[in-house]
Amino acid sequence: MDIKEFISKIPKAELHLHIEGTLEPELFFELAKRNGISIPYTTVNELRSAYQFDCLQDFLDIYYKGTQVLIHEQDFFNLTWAYLTKCKEQNVVHTEIMFDPQSHTDRGVAFETVINGISKACQKAKQECGISSFLIMSYLRHLSEESAFEILEMSKPFKHLIKAVGLDSSELGHPPSKFQRVFDASVKEGYIPLAHAGEEGPTEYIWEAIDILKIHRIDHGNRCLEDEKLIQEIMKRDLALKICPLSNKALQVVKDFKNHPLKKMLDLGLKVTVNSDDPAYFGGQLIANFEAITEELNLSKDEIVQLVRNSFQYALLSEDVKKIRLEELDKFLAI
């Protein structure tokens, strides 16, 4: 089996994926038409050519505009089902999906509409394809603490459908500490705390995310390598890093892809996982992310296996299910 086939066939988990970031231009056009929404693009190619970003904010401006075509439960279902179909094609057997409710409720779409559409697709994928999934409700950090509390309140009747809370959107100027109280309240509701930190923001934000929000894993965390004490702390607390290679390239978080920090992180023994973040915008699904780093960083098969093993080991799955997934992985490796 050559390396491409190996990457494709190995069963894997995805732990960092924004469902709104899976909206492919084709579905965007279809939903705009179905919902009678006028959009400033006439062709798929024209839209794709707008996906040129100098930084995270450049991307977020387009990403939030994309959400405007999502109105009805069926739209959220179609979006999520399209992603889960790609999971099946790529042998992604478990996925942890972030969603940004505020980007929808702020436009007058009910929380219930969003979560029902997404979770019905997840249930269908579990039944028909055996793909397990969890939902991570992410607070938008450019909005207020008050707005996050409103979302937390709205989520309560749907608590059984939500595994964790996250923190995403514009990082610079919005430190994790801004959300300390809403994270404390979220944990009291039973949600696991997670957050983006150190994607564009400084190492202090990673410290805050682990010390103040008490997160269980770090979304991105690329910049942790700038602080030796922080690296030691991340190892001590056994926190996994959810790295998104093609996202880092597209958002110019990493200037020179050949020197992507993932290799150094692996060499240090940090628990790295590979993820696609917003695949419709960054030029590739999970497999494409694995291929890109394998080629650019000259990763060995053993290193790929380590990354995949981490994706199960650091998933939010119960220990029993993790064991089953890891046994399936070992079975695949034994062939």
Q: Which residues bind ligand ADE (CB under 6 A)?
A: 18, 21, 56, 63, 168-169, 196, 199, 247, 277-278
Beta carbon of residue 72, minimum distance to Zn ion (angstroms, whole number): 25
Q: Tell me which of Zn ion, ligand ADE, none is bound by residue 21, counting a contact when its beta carbon lies within the kind-specific cut-off of 5 to 8 angstroms.
A: ligand ADE
Residue placing its CB nearer to ligand ADE in the complex, 75 or 168 = 168
In contact, 72 and 33? CB cutoff 8 Å: no
Q: Tell me which of Zn ion, ligand ADE, none is bound by residue 207, counting a contact when its beta carbon lies within the kind-specific cut-off of 5 to 8 angstroms.
A: none
SS3 36: coil
Residues 6+ apart with CB under 8 A from 134: 95, 96, 97, 163, 164, 316
Encoded tokens for 261: 């920090």
| Closest to 263 (Cα-Cα) out of 1, 68, 254, 3 | 254
Q: Tell me which of ligand ADE, Zn ion, none is bound by residue 199, counting a contact when its beta carbon lies within the kind-specific cut-off of 5 to 8 angstroms.
A: ligand ADE
Residue placing its CB nearer to ligand ADE in the complex, 277 or 303 = 277
Encoded tokens for 202: 């400084």
Q: Is 30 a catalytic residue?
A: no
Beta carbon of residue 272, minimum distance to ligand ADE (angstroms, whole number): 16
Q: What are phi and psi of 64, to 5 degrees?
A: -70, -30
Q: Tell me which of Zn ion, ligand ADE, none is bound by residue 56, counting a contact when its beta carbon lies within the kind-specific cut-off of 5 to 8 angstroms.
A: ligand ADE
Residue placing its CB nearer to Zn ion in the complex, 24 or 277 = 277
For tokens 């995270």, name the residue: 56
Residue nearest to Zn ion (CB): 277
Beta carbon of residue 123, minimum distance to ligand ADE (angstroms, whole number): 24
Q: What's the rounded Cα separation, in Å, for the pair 220 and 308?
A: 16
Beta carbon of residue 315, minimum distance to Zn ion (angstroms, whole number): 16
Q: Which residues bind Zn ion (CB under 5 A)?
A: 277
Residue nearest to ligand ADE (CB): 168
Conformational region of residue 168, where left means phi above 0, alpha means psi within -120 to 50, and beta covers everything else:
beta
Distances in Å between the Cα of 334 and the Cα atoms of 10, 210, 309, 327, 331 are: 11, 37, 14, 10, 5
Beta carbon of residue 221, minimum distance to Zn ion (angstroms, whole number): 11
Catalytic residue among 24, 73, 199, 303: 199
Sign, CA dihedral 122-286-194-100, equals: negative
Q: Which residues are catalytic?
A: 199
